[in-house]
Structure 1
Amino acid sequence: MASEPKKIIIDTDPGIDDAMAIFLALRSPEVEVIGLTTIYGNVYTTLATRNALHLLEVAGRTDIPVAEGSHVTLTAIQQDPDFSKNIRQIVLLGGAFAVNGNVNPAAEANIFGDPDAADVVFTSGADVVAVGINVTHQVVLTAADREKLASSKGKFAQYLTKILDVYFSYHFEAYDTTGVYLHDPTALLAAVNPSLLTYIEGAVRVQTNGITRGLTILYNKQKRFGEVTEWSDKPSVKVAVTVDAPAVVKLLMDRLMDS
């Protein structure tokens, strides 16, 4: 007998690749989307909420509730200390883990947006899986893939084709590449099918100020240091290190074209 779908809440700031991830989640029988929460990032919180509601309308899923997140940087965990015990798992898109960031050489955008909150999440004791741009930069949707989406009958594929132009132009300008990175869809699929990625475990801390503000560092716990430090006794989290990129792209394409 097939196992019950995993109930998930998507915290999002849509965003083009967020839109892809949300549509992908709605087309994934392994998960049941029980709500969207919004936060500032690509756009301000109010617009993120409007975009999230719009995407659910396009999908014909206005039954899914949307809760608007904070307009200020805030660590929600601090408001509810039992949060980390009550939630089964947090799969987050964030961090660069030994590659250059995407807002500056040190930091990835989501972590840079609120490094203090990120550090609280990583050290909260929750079951955290971090999918960073060290992994998502390996997962590329090509111009040929976009043509395939455009020529398919899928409702979601058709909608995304219309908004992908701006995403392709951004990547061409910023990275001189003719494909786009699938950040959010990869993180979503880590929740849907964890076996598409491999992970290492260790303590993660975030630099909260200075030139490297937003830097994520993983301590693999292989060496026991003599002195007590800010790393001592911190809980381990999982950090993605490899991804089966062709499988991720294929899954995304199949599910969006069949929508």
Structure 2
Amino acid sequence: MKDPKSTMAMGDRKKIIIDTDPGIDDAMAIFVALKSPEVDVIGLTTIYGNVYTTLATRNALHLLEVAGRTDIPVAEGTHKTILNGTKLRVADFVHGEDGLGNQNFPPPEGKPIEKSAPEFLVEQAKLHPGEITVVALGPLTNIALAVQLDPEFSKNVGQIVLLGGSFAVNGNVNPASEANIFGDPEAADIVFTCGADIIAVGINVTHQVVMTADDRDKLASSNGKLGQYLCKILDLYYSYHLDAYEIKGVYLHDPTTIIAAFLPSLFTYTEGVVRVQTDSITRGLTLLYNNQKRFEEETEWSDKPSVKVAVTVDAPAVLKLIMDRLMES
């Protein structure tokens, strides 16, 4: 696959805001975005998930400093679920207590802006109607709060590309649920049914994009500064995947979702209404109604807007793109 041109006019670049819970694969996704000429990262918003929100903010600021992009604002997100729940599931056993492979980097010098993440999302969507792509890499609470804060947000935002759901494969928190949706199922259901232009990239797709141990060695031997940084933090992530999945590689969930935001042609999609189960042992389950049957009865899916759900991915092309961007960094 030819790498897209790196001489794009600023006006051609897609404006993106990354809602993130860094996280090792979030770090990779942020770096890929910053090194992709197709996109202009105009802000990071933070959310709990891989770590608590305060640490997510610290890590987002740190990653921007590592990348030399402290011009990009960071807006801190909510510390609670949409129903004000404070018992949060945090995946520090995957990403380390510091979220970045237990490297204990010094604190960043930067600070988040005064606006909250939902306020920043609403403001930017209003300033640039139809032009902003929000790439949501964690639980969807900030996005749902933006929907509640401004009834026009769903129309103003250009697109929401989200990592979430498992769509007919087992989840990664339990057999029913994927981690981001499980983190706040009520928020996820609000987002899926808000009427925005949505692409959902689930783990049914991201589990096909694997960075092997050989790929990591290739990254380590490159001159890319950001690639070198990632190699430092990846050890724990590889260990987790070996224990949990018995594979000598890591799933590239977040970087794959970033690629879907600006090269959607590397994926195929189905369309339908997605609803999220909010109770019982299947809490967090995402269920797509594929529109193939017209039901006589009213259902919880009736008269709800459709979204796109990724069903296949050109995994070699996505992996090559991620590797190329990081090795050139």
Shared topology, TM-score over 0.5? yes
Task: Give runs of aligned pairs for residues 66-105 of structure 1, distance below 5 A.
Answer: 66-74=74-82, 75-76=144-145, 77-105=147-175
Alpha-carbon separation, structure 2, partners of 1:52 and 1:181: 21
Which residue does 1:192 correspond to in 2?
Answer: 262
Q: String of CA shifts for 1:178-204, please: whole Å, max 9, x gaps.
A: 010000000000001000100000000
Match of 1:10 among 8, 18, 24: 18
Alpha-carbon separation, structure 1, partners of 2:155 and 2:319: 33
Which residue does 2:30 correspond to in 1?
Answer: 22
Match of 2:203 among 119, 133, 153: 133
Alpha-carbon separation, structure 2, partners of 1:129 and 1:200: 10
1:111 is paired with a residue of what secondary structure?
helix
The AA in structure 2 aligned to 1:85 is K
Alpha-carbon separation, structure 2, partners of 1:192 and 1:232: 31
Matched, 1:153 2:216: no
Task: Give runs of aligned pairs for residues 1-259 of structure 1, distance below 5 A.
Answer: 4-74=12-82, 75-76=144-145, 77-259=147-329
Identity of aligned residues (%): 79
Structure 1 residue 79: Cα displacement:
1.9
TM-score (norm: length of structure 1): 0.99
Structure 1 residue 210: Cα displacement:
0.6
1:173 is paired with a residue of what secondary structure?
helix
Large movers: runs of 4+ above 6 Å: none
The AA in structure 2 aligned to 1:66 is V
The answer as to whether partners of 1:28 and 1:192 remain within 8 angstroms in 2 is no
The AA in structure 1 aligned to 2:22 is P
Structure 1 residue 227: Cα displacement:
0.4
Question: Unaligned stretches of 5+ in structure 1?
Answer: none
The AA in structure 1 aligned to 2:15 is K
Structure 1 residue 82: Cα displacement:
1.3
Q: String of CA shifts for 1:67-119, please: whole Å, max 9, x gaps.
A: 00001112311122211011000000000000000000000000000000000
Alpha-carbon separation, structure 1, partners of 2:12 and 2:55: 33
The answer as to whether partners of 1:11 and 1:37 remain within 8 angstroms in 2 is yes
The AA in structure 1 aligned to 2:223 is K
1:253 is paired with a residue of what secondary structure?
helix
The AA in structure 2 aligned to 1:121 is V
Q: CA RMSD in A?
A: 0.9
Alpha-carbon separation, structure 1, partners of 2:301 and 2:250: 36
1:62 is paired with a residue of what secondary structure?
coil
Alpha-carbon separation, structure 2, partners of 1:78 and 1:104: 29
1:200 is paired with a residue of what secondary structure?
strand
**Corresponding pairs, count:** 259
Question: Unaligned stretches of 5+ in structure 2?
Answer: 1-7, 83-143
Higher relative contact order (CA 8 A, sep 6+): 1
Alpha-carbon separation, structure 1, partners of 2:284 and 2:297: 25
